[in-house]
Amino acid sequence: MTSYGDSPASTPEPGSCEYVVAVLYLDDHLRITYTPRPSSAAVRLIGELDAANHRAAADTLRRAGRDDDPLVIDCEHLDFVDVAGLRMLIDLCRDGRARIANPPAQLLRLLHLVGLALP
């Protein structure tokens, strides 16, 4: 399991030269950050998305979305996703208001197993 402590809102993301505009959600296992993009809202999930935090994560992601553009959910730094987390991501993407970007291999495999293909 990964653990994340408090971090300032303007620190670089691991492995990137982008700066985070805001940390939207933080617990012991998951951090959700927001980085501005010209054409869409973009959030990054870092750590573990599971039954313990999927409801809070869903609420955070719904608030982060824009009405006019889809929310881009960058999953590159997700280390673990359980069934509750997977269901939450599917529900957010089902109506087209959000899309998953950069899924790690294990998440991509789960998405294919449940019959969801990424564009």
**Tens digit of each residue's pLDDT (9 = 90 or more) over 23-70:** 999 999 999 999 877 777 899 999 999 999 999 999 999 999 877 788
The answer as to whether 9 is a domain residue is no
CA angle, 111 then 30 then 7, to 5°: 140
Sequence letter at residue 25: Y
Structure tokens at 119: 């564009």
Q: Is residue 1 part of a domain?
A: no
How many domains is the chain partitioned into structurally?
Answer: 1
Q: Is the residue at 53 inside a domain?
A: yes
Residue 49 sits in which domain range? Answer: 22-113
Helices (H), the chain: 54-64, 83-94, 105-113
Classify residue 106: in a domain, yes or no.
Answer: yes
Percent with pLDDT over 90 in the chain: 58
| Statement: residue 104 has pLDDT above 70 | yes
Return the CATH number at 98: 3.30.750.24
pTM over 0.85: no
Looking at residue 87, its pLDDT comes to: 94
